[in-house]
Structure formats: C-alpha cells, structure tokens
Amino acid sequence: MVLFKSHPDRARVFTGWMACAALGMGLNMPLWAADSAKQNATRIEYASPDQSVWTTRTLENGEPDNPLKAVAAALFSRAGIPWTATTYPASRLFGNLQNGTAQFSMLVKVPALQGCCLFSKKPVTTAEIRAYRRAGTPSIKSREGLVGQQVITIRGYSYGGLAAFLADPQNRITTHDTQAHASAFRMLANGRADYLIEYAGPAAEVLSTEPIAGIAFDVLSRQDVYLVLSKTYPDAAQVMQRLEAIAATLDVEALLTREAASGKGLLPVKGAAGPK
C-alpha cells in the first residue's frame, strides 16, 4: 500500500529549492571564510630603517618618512592582515627580523636575512644610487671611476655596500661626509669635491628647492627592493605567495609618487637633513 505519493510539481519545487540553498551556501562560504581569515589573521609588524633613502622629509613625530608605507597599506588591506609600522636602526631591524619580533619589511637582499626570512621572487621597486657632478667634470659609469677621486657622502649610508669600496685605502678615495643632503649639494657646488654619492629621491627634492646650474649625474647602481617576511609568521610561505600576488596587481611607482606628492603629515627636515 502506498501511503504517500509525491506530486511531480512538488518534487520539482523541492529540488529547485534545495539547489538554490546549496548555491547560496556555496556563494556565501568564501565570503564567510574570508571574513573569518581577516578576523583571525595575526598582526604583522612592518619594520623599516630609520635612515630614509627615499626622501629628506620626516613625520610630525620626528621619524623619517617612508613612502613604502603606502605600498604596505595596499598589501595588507587587500590581504586582510592587521599591521603596525616601526622604524629601527639597521642592526636592530635585522635582529628583530631574525628573531621574529618584527615580521615584515621591504629591503634589498642581504645575507644576514637569508636564513630567517622569505624574499619575494620579484622586486617591488628600485632605489637608484647616483654620482652627481658639476658641468665639465668627467662622467663616470661605475664605482671604479671613483678611484683616486674626491667624493662627498651622506653620513650614515652604506649605499648598498659602496661605502666599503669608498673607504678601502687601496682605492685612494678621499671622502667628505656631511649630515645633510642639502649641505652635500652645496659642497659640490662650491667645489669641495668632484662627485657626490646620493640617492635619487633625496637628490630630486633638494635640487627642486636649490637648483645647481649645470648639475649632472651618472647612475652607479640600482638596488632592487623586495618584500621580506619572517619565517616565524604563521603560514609564512602561503602568506608570501598571497602578498606577491597582490603586489603584482599594484602600480607601486604610482603609489610612491602619490605619497611623495601629498606631503600629508610630513615636515621638511631642517636643512633637508639626512639620517640621524
């Protein structure tokens, strides 16, 4: 005996309702999972050097400006990772990345971090080191062209390892160092030395306010800057892959240019000072 017989239309309605419910759950699950991931993501500390190679400006609290924070903000916002930013002297920065106190940075590749950190496969931007000269001074195309020369440098910079070459007695290079970017260009203009070693960003800012007639430069090197993630951060390899995928969609140079142009919250350093 048949106690109940389903009507064909009712069966179709029931089947359709179940399909819609399953579809709704399928669509909502990724959103739910993404929200959960954001809520559960471990806070990350972005550590940057207290000597800026990008600008002569500082924040209102006296710390050097770091236009790469705009890149970090875009990365972590899209990745759903809460973050903070702190500046450190170079040796402490490396130590904090090595022991996991800080988990993220954007730096050139250095041997000291190869064992403790992951580096992105591709650089996110490049820091350009130049040799500035007055009109009539011979052009140089490599660091070897500085051998036997008088050179002005900004105190505290390693220039991606170039400082060691400049200090090597065998190279017979006389260096004149100064604390401020602006004073370095004044020294060059006054003939204190034939060449000034300087990063592109600070140089552009100084020369925009204190132009020097006939000034020229040669590019000595370009230092690729990579994403750096401590291996102590949870699921570091997967997180790095996600950050790399996001970085590939960003117009990093536009972010840096926009940040520099805004000047929001920034104060010019007295005399366009260099690193403290």
175 - beta bridge partners? 151
Comparison of pLDDT for 61 and 157, the residue scoring more: 157
pLDDT at 36 over 90: no
State the average pLDDT over residues 250-265: 73
Whole-angstrom distance, CA of residue 62 vs CA of residue 266: 9
For residue 80, the domain's CATH number is 3.40.190.10
Q: 191 lies in which domain range?
A: 128-222
Helix (H) or strand (E) holding 11: helix 8-40
Q: pTM to 2 decimals?
A: 0.76
State the average pLDDT over residues 62-70: 85
**Max CA separation in the chain (angstroms):** 111
Whole-angstrom distance, CA of residue 125 vs CA of residue 108: 10
Instruction: Note the pLDDT of residue 1.
Output: 42
Is 264 within a domain?
yes
Q: Is 106:243 a contact under the CB 8 Å cutoff?
A: no
- What percent of the chain stands above pLDDT 70? 79
Are 114 and 168 contained in the same domain? Answer: no
Are 186 and 138 contained in the same domain? Answer: yes
Are 136 and 188 contained in the same domain? Answer: yes
State the average pLDDT over residues 53-74: 86
Q: pLDDT tens digit string along 98-144? A: 999 999 999 999 899 999 999 999 999 999 999 999 999 999 989 99
Are 142 and 228 contained in the same domain? Answer: no
Is 263 within a domain?
yes
Are 134 and 205 contained in the same domain? Answer: yes
pLDDT at 267 over 50: no
Are 112 and 228 contained in the same domain? Answer: yes
Comparison of pLDDT for 135 and 38, the residue scoring more: 135
In a 3-state reduction of DSSP, which class is residue 191?
Answer: coil
